[in-house]
Structure 1
């Protein structure tokens, strides 16, 4: 109690700004999205103001963390390669494009609520251009980080955690933002291209995430829960379940509305019903929600058992709880809000 606390300089603080800090942007972004879709008082002025306030807080946080991150690698350039070689810290690079997507999502809500027509204006196409940039960054991180995990970093099966899903999660998050953009883009060609790219992103991301989840389940059965420092990552699988299901719902909604044309195949000549594809996306989203319903109590039990024996240290990792649980809640809300015209 008598020991004096040594205050760190600003330069020392900047040195410790890791990519994990972008989870703050992710968590705040999903909270603002949930507020905007809150069932009670929907479209009320209070909900709009709270959503916009959270958006600006998130935007300021994103800018400050970006500036601090840039300063870190300018002041300490040797930390860049050290971070890329770190088997855990490097995985959080994916938090950057996911945080950016959360800002685009709420910017779309703000555009709709405050004076902009949802299908016109340069602002909408600016958001679309930023989404394409985010897609490029997400794809580069997915390929680059998986390659680094395979060829550069050292891993062991006994150390496998849910964080191994992180490289492909930006693709799933970007697909959800693409589905939201497709619902308001004015040109049919823009909508079709956005839906096509979003479909590829969500399928690639979900396939890889589910493969990691299968390996994770085997690892947990054989070696037990992860160490206390990484026990909070047990909730990370709710991210691909929730965000993947939400992405499929938004894509299916666009198809059910007839905003995307699905003509006959040039090879087989068979026509593909948009409502049939929408029914498939709805069913796939329901399956992901059901998987999350199984995983959630398992993760909570692992965290509870670990916390009973050893105190979970307070760290930036607590923010990793917010986004996965938030997007799973978003998927749950999505089933209540979306009205898909499914065939009988």
Structure 2
């Protein structure tokens, strides 16, 4: 039986805001990718229950995005010293890239709601509003990528032994924005060529840098073994660039094969589309390999030590979800029943994982144990240590009696 002293102490609202992190945006990312899988589920697509569930998940994600953004702004207004502390932290700082990825995820579902469910009566204006938000997201993604890579090189200390999959987070928004741009390009009546060109640039650049990190991470695994239990769930992250990058390439291939695009006398659109499909197939195959290897690492880690709940659990959903989305798209494109059933299995697995994490998150939010920022905790410990040192120094100063100098 638990004693009263062993129960966790609930944090007040100000403390919760202080211990808020950018990783909370992964809730929006995970919920949006589940909404995409529900919308594209093999059975019941376009039905009323499918529509209702997709829209419910979308509005829940939108509400979470607004609340998380408000809490993040309030955190750095109330506690401005946390900004520099966050940038110096080699892990927490990387999750700032989750914000533009959450924004693109919302644009994806808003586009689905607009195209399939008549979300807006002013269709053209709403579509270009989404396009404008996408451009804003692209600018933010580029700034975060260059800014965080600069901070990682100049403000933080890294080693191969401590390298994790989180190191690729700064460039992952490029790949997510690339897929969103591909979806918008197929819906835009004009400016679609510019959108698909920017999407291709973002996707190729993001995939190139992501695979540099994956190569270094694989070397780290071979030399030093699997990561610690606290970072083992991050092993799913490489599925993100593989799944989302492959999905983006398929959208580019679909666009080039259905639109009359002039790429010049030396380049054939059909040839580029074929190359894009082959690259997407390669990424899907690599994703299956990495999924199997990650499950083996997590199984071995869980057998030795239980992985405690943290907001990092949500980091599993988006990478596996985009991998499932690529599988569904590949099955529909090839009209392959086998790949379609694999996509259905993936989709159900991701949905069950989402339910599991939600069930874990609700009580953690209620008792405030989910609000835990390592950089804020470290800053508090440094202040406490400084205060204690000052108190000790003051206590060692000899007291001088008032009459000692006049005797």
Please indicate the TM-score interval, normalised by the length of the shorter structure: over 0.9
Corresponding residue number in structure 1 for 2:50? 47
Residue 118 of structure 1 deviates from its aligned partner by 11
Q: Give TM-score scaled by structure 2 length.
A: 0.80
1:216 aligns with 217
Deviation track 1:88-145 (CA, whole Å, cap 9, x = no partner) reads: 0000001000000010000001101233699951000000000000000111111111
Which structure 2 residues correspond to residues 1-344 of structure 1 after superposition, within 5 A? 1-4=2-5, 5=7, 6-115=9-118, 120-187=123-190, 190-264=191-265, 270=266, 272-338=267-333
Work out the CA distance in 2 between the residues paired with 1:339 and 1:59.
33
- Once the two structures are overlaid, the 10-residue window that deviates more, 116-125 or 305-314, is 116-125
Q: Secondary structure at the match of 1:159?
A: coil
User: Higher Cα Rg: structure 1 or 2?
Assistant: 2
SS in 1 for 2:42: coil
Gaps of 5+ in 2: 336-407
Aligned partners of 1:192 and 1:261 also within 8 Å: no
Please say if residues 114 and 123 of structure 2, whose CA atoms lie closer than 8 Å, have aligned partners that are also in contact: no
Q: CA deviation at 1:181?
A: 0.1
Aligned residues: 332
CA–CA distance in structure 1, aligned partners of residues 69 and 119 of structure 2:
28
SS in structure 2 of the partner of residue 127 of structure 1: helix
Q: What is the RMSD computed on CA atoms of the aligned residues?
A: 1.5
Q: Which runs of 5+ in 1 are unaligned?
A: 265-269
Q: Say whether the 8 Å CA contact 1:249–1:285 is kept in structure 2.
A: yes
Distance across 2 between alignment mates of 1:249 and 1:283: 9
Higher RCO, 1 vs 2 (CA within 8 Å, ≥6 residues apart): 2
Q: Quick check: 1:15–1:72 contact (8 Å CA) kept in 2?
A: yes
**Number of the residue aligned with 1:267:** none
* Partners of 2:120 and 2:126 within 8 A in 1: no
**SS at the partner of 2:156?**
coil
CA deviation map 1:8-47 (0-9, x unaligned): 1100011111001101011001100111111111111111
Q: Aligned equivalents of 2:252 and 2:128: distance in 1?
A: 19
CA distance in 2, matches of 1:116, 1:80: 38
Q: How far is 1:261 from its partner?
A: 2.7
* 8 Å contact kept, 1:195–1:251: yes
The alpha-carbon deviation at position 259 of structure 1 amounts to 4.8
2:100 and 2:173 in contact (8 A); partners too? yes
Contact 1:22 1:65 (C-alpha < 8 Å) held by counterparts: yes
Q: Does the 8 Å contact 1:244/1:288 carry over to 2?
A: yes
Question: Secondary structure of the residue that 1:124 maps to in structure 2?
Answer: helix
TM-score normalised according to structure 1 size: 0.94
- Once the two structures are TM-superposed, the CA of residue 176 in structure 1 deviates from its matched residue by 0.1
Q: Could you tell me how far apart the structure 2 residues matched to 1:143 and 1:229 are?
A: 27
Using the TM superposition, give the Cα deviation of residue 338 of structure 1 relative to its aligned residue in structure 2, in angstroms. Answer: 3.0
Contact residue 118 and residue 184 of structure 1 kept, 8 A: no
Question: After alignment, is 88-97 or 6-15 more displaced?
Answer: 6-15
